[in-house]
Structures are given as structure tokens and as C-alpha cells.
Amino acid sequence: MAIKLSNRIQLIKPSPTLAISNKATEMKNAGLDVVNFGVGEPDFNTPDYIKQAAHKAIDDNFTRYTANAGIPELRKAICAKLERDNGLKYEPKQILVSPGAKASILDVLMAVCDAHDQVIIPVPYWVSYPYQVKLAEADPVYLTTYQEDGFRVKADALDKCIKENPTAKVLILNSPSNPTGTVYTKKELEEIAEVCLKHDILVISDEIYERLVYDDSKHYSIAAVSPEMQEHTVIVNGVSKAYAMTGWRLGYAAGPANIISYAGRMQEHATSCVNSITQKACVVALNDEDASIEEMRQEFDKRRNFLYTELVKNPHLSCFKPEGAFYIFPNISWYIKNNNMGIRNTDEFCSQLLERHHVALVSGGAFGTEGFVRFSYANSMENLTKGAQRFAAFLQELREAK
Ligand SMILES: Cc1ncc(COP(=O)(O)O)c(C=O)c1O
């Protein structure tokens, strides 16, 4: 007799970003020249100064369980970082170190949500938020944002959304954003904070792309709006993106001691501490940063400018110029509505592009937004050039198909 799966797990679908990557890898393994824009991770190696710290931790036999919430020197290094970069004071007991920012978000949701509490998720969203909310047995409430507003949550729309959803308790805010590259200004965050304070909403502020901002954009944490807002915010951040450490698995949450302590209980019985060697390496990553981190940012910036310029050359395509992170999210809805190749939706657009031109993108549907596709420009200039040409050739085919 087959064991019936839980209702909870049946709400969870496989990650769409991984699905497209797997298909692209399959094609690559079959010998095809695929350009994969699907992956959300830096293509750089972890900087040497960080790797050396990890070697040292192994040589020093720093290989046992650590404190569940993270080794004291790492929690101190995170407090120092929050003060240095964000002007925020935290004590180590307000920091939970987790195996990735992804885990931090789930721990916090588990600590604050009861069944059917509502969690507001701006759309387009990062793929994992809705599933994490459902795992916590809470209900996602989707708040649409628009390309013409730079995909920004507007304070009045948020206010209306909260009034319409009386059990709303949490807002998940992501700046710089995946998939749009939106970076909120201080003023916009002040306006959002005012609404959250009025309605007593907790903000989970996902700042994992903090270091990757371009042109005049500056990263600002909503927690820095006021001491009261700091009490209504859990900052989530980590080392995956800025330090090219995706496989090391370390993120953290910083927030009110009570929430952090209970999120830590969740972690204690789910995964326990982060790998001890990674923790030692991260102390050095944060405290002794060298020039390699800024060099990676500058390289991403170059690629962003290149890809944006190439994409907007295509007729009938419009695009918000990303201000941060390493994604670009063009609007291809004209091509869905006006093609004679039988493409009816964005998923079909992406699978035709992959099959015919060997370019992997993630369909906007994965982020809750039809008519858009996501490119990750964490890829070599050579691949960006090749991929942009193939993409343009596909659009031309769609325009010309009779
Ligand atoms: C918006 C956002 N938050 C969190 C994460 C997870 O980061 P981590 O590798 O620290 O789990 C990602 C990774 O893709 C992301 O894009």
C-alpha cells in the first residue's frame, strides 16, 4: 500500500528555476551548446582570503557542533557589519546564523505565523516565498507591483491591501530584488514603514543582494527608518551572493531578540548549527573583506549595462533597467499576444527558446508574473553576447512567422 503524502507537502511544487536549469544541463550533457541564464548564483570562485580561513579551520580541527545560533565571533562580526553598513545596533543574541538566507526566512516564518495568518508578498516575488509561507501554514497574499513603477510597492497600495486582509501579519520585502533588480530608496522605505507601523506588521527584509547595487542606487535597510521600525523588522542577509559563497550555506537573521530566539528553536530541531568550517570562513569574509568583492560587483555592473543595451534593441520589448542584484526582467508580452508560432504563454515561450535556440531563461510565471522572462547576468560576457544574439534571433522569428 502506498503511503499517502501529507497535504502540506503536496502544496509544494519543485523550484521552477531548478527545473529549467536541469533541462539546460541535460541538453549540455547531450553535447549541445546551451547558454544558461537560469542560474541565480555568481559564476566567480569564492575569494582566496575566505578559502584560506576555511583551510585553517580544518587544520585547527574546528570540526565539531557549534552553538546552534552560530559561533560568538561570527555573531559579533555580523553585529559589526550591521553597524558599519546599515547604521544599526544589534547584540549577538539578536542574530541567528542559519544554513542560508533561505533557511533564515523559513525559521522566522515558523516562529511568527500561526495557521492562516496572512503574509503579504509583493509580485513579482522570489520563487521560494510563497512555498515557505505555506510550509508555515500561513496564507500568502499577493500584492501586484507594476513595471511602470519600477516594480515598487506603493505605500497606499500596501495600506489598502492590509485593510482588505485583516489577518495580515507579515510583509516580505526584497531589496535589491530578485527577479526585477529594484532597489528601494530611503524615502520609499520610510513610506512603507509608516504603513507597517500603523498596522503593526512585521517586515521580513530580505537584503541578500545588498552589496550588488549600481549607478546612483544605494542600499538602505527598512530597519534603519526608526528604532520602532527596527523592532518591527527581521533583516535576512548572508554571504551567498556578494562573496560568491552559494555552496557554503550561510545566511543570518537579525531582529527582535524574542523572535530570533524562537526562530533558533526551530533551527535547533530542524538542522542545528551551520557547518563549523563555513562559520569560521564567514568571520573572515565579513571582517577582512578584500578588493575582490568590489571587483565582482563592478563586473556584474558591466554585464548589466551590456545586456540591458542589447535587450532593448529588440522591437516590442520593454525593460526596467535593474538597479541591483544580477537579474534583468524584460517584458515580452507583445510576443505572446502577436506570434504565429502557437506560443500561448510565457512558459511556452521559454521552452521554445530553449529548444530552438538553446537559451535557458526562467519564465515570469515562476515569479507570479506572466509576460516577462528573467535573465541572470551572472554569466561570462561571451555567453551574454551569444545568448543576447540568439534571443534576438528568436524574437525576429516570432515577428516574421506567417
Ligand atoms: C531573494 C533571495 N533571497 C534569498 C536567497 C537564498 O540565499 P541563500 O543562498 O543564502 O539561501 C536567494 C537565492 O537565490 C534569493 O534570490
Among 378, 353, 379, 371, smallest CA distance to 124 is for 371
Q: Alpha carbon 89 to chain centroid distance? A: 24
pLDDT value, residue 17: 65
Question: Do 391 and 359 meet the contact criterion of CB atoms below 8 Å apart?
Answer: yes
Of 326, 225, 34, 29, nearest to 205 (Cα)?
A: 225
- Residue 166 to residue 245: CA distance in whole angstroms: 40
Are 297 and 305 in contact by the 8 Å Cβ rule? The answer is no
Q: What is the C-alpha to C-alpha distance for residues 325 and 100, in angstroms, rounded to an integer?
A: 17
Q: Probe ligand 1: pick from 18, 127, 241, 267, max atoms within 8 Å of CB?
A: 241
Closest by alpha carbon to 381, among 290, 303, 291? 303
Q: What is the pLDDT along the chain (402 residues), one digit of tens a residue?
A: 789 999 999 988 877 667 777 888 899 999 999 999 988 899 999 999 999 999 999 999 999 999 999 999 999 999 999 999 999 999 999 999 999 999 999 999 999 999 999 999 999 999 999 999 999 999 999 999 999 999 999 999 999 999 999 999 999 999 999 999 999 999 999 999 999 999 999 999 999 999 999 999 999 999 999 999 999 999 999 999 999 999 999 999 999 999 999 999 999 999 999 999 999 999 999 999 999 999 999 999 999 999 999 999 999 999 999 999 999 999 999 999 998 889 999 999 999 999 999 999 999 999 999 999 999 999 999 999 999 999 999 999 999 987
Structural domains of the chain, with CATH:
7-45+292-400 (3.90.1150.10), 48-287 (3.40.640.10)
Q: Which of 48, 35, 38, 36 is nearest to 295 (CA)?
A: 48
Q: How far apart are the first and last CA of the chain?
A: 53
pLDDT at position 22 is 83
**Atom 14 of ligand 1, residue of closest alpha carbon:** 40
What's the gap in Å between 307 CA and the centre of ligand 1? 22
Phi, psi dihedrals of residue 199, rounded to the nearest 5°: -105, 5
Ligand 1 atom nearest residue 40's Cα: 14
Partners of 123 in beta bridges: 144
C-alpha cell at 135: 510550509
Nearest atom within ligand 1 for CA of residue 41: 14
- If you measure from the C-alpha of residue 102 to the centroid of ligand 1, how many angstroms do you get, rounded to a whole number? 6
Which residue lies with its CA nearest to atom 13 of ligand 1?
A: 40
Instruction: Of 129, 95, 94, give the one whose Cα is nearest residue 109.
Output: 129
Q: Are the C-beta atoms of 220 and 186 separated by less than 8 Å? A: yes
Element (H, E) at 328: strand 327-328
- pTM across the whole model: 0.97
- By the 8 A CB rule, do 282 and 250 touch? yes
b/e 292-330 (16+ beta carbons within 10 angstroms → b): bbeebbebbbebbeebbebbeebeebebbebbbbbbbbb
Q: How many residues does the chain have?
A: 402
Q: Mapping DSSP to helix (H, G, I), strand (E, B) and coil, where does residue 339 land?
A: coil
Given 3-state DSSP classes, what are the helix, strand and coil percentages for the chain, each rounded to the nearest 5?
Answer: 50, 15, 40
Write the CA distances from 224 to 121, 134, 159, 232, integer angstroms: 21, 29, 21, 11
**Ligand 1: which residues within 6 Å by Cβ?**
40, 100-102, 126, 174, 178, 206, 208, 238, 240, 246, 251
**CA of 17, closest atom in ligand 1:** 14
Nearest CA to 206 out of 274, 114, 92, 122 is that of 122
Residue 215, phi-psi category: left (phi > 0), alpha (psi -120 to 50), beta (remainder): left
What's the rounded Cα separation, in Å, for the pair 254 and 393?
46
Ligand 1 pocket test target in 125, 240, 275, 367 with most atoms within 8 Å of CB: 240
Query: Parallel, antiparallel, or unpaired: how do β-strands 362-363 and 373-376 relate?
Result: antiparallel
Q: Grid coordinates 530570533 are at which residue?
A: 260
Reduce the secondary structure of 45-81 to three states and give it as a string.
CCCHHHHHHHHHHHHCCCCCCCCCCCCHHHHHHHHHH
What pLDDT was estimated at residue 16? 66
pLDDT for res 402 = 74
Rounded Cα distance between 163 and 157, Å, is 10
pLDDT at 213: 98
Any residues with CB less than 8 A from the CB of 115 and at least 6 apart, and which? Answer: 137, 138
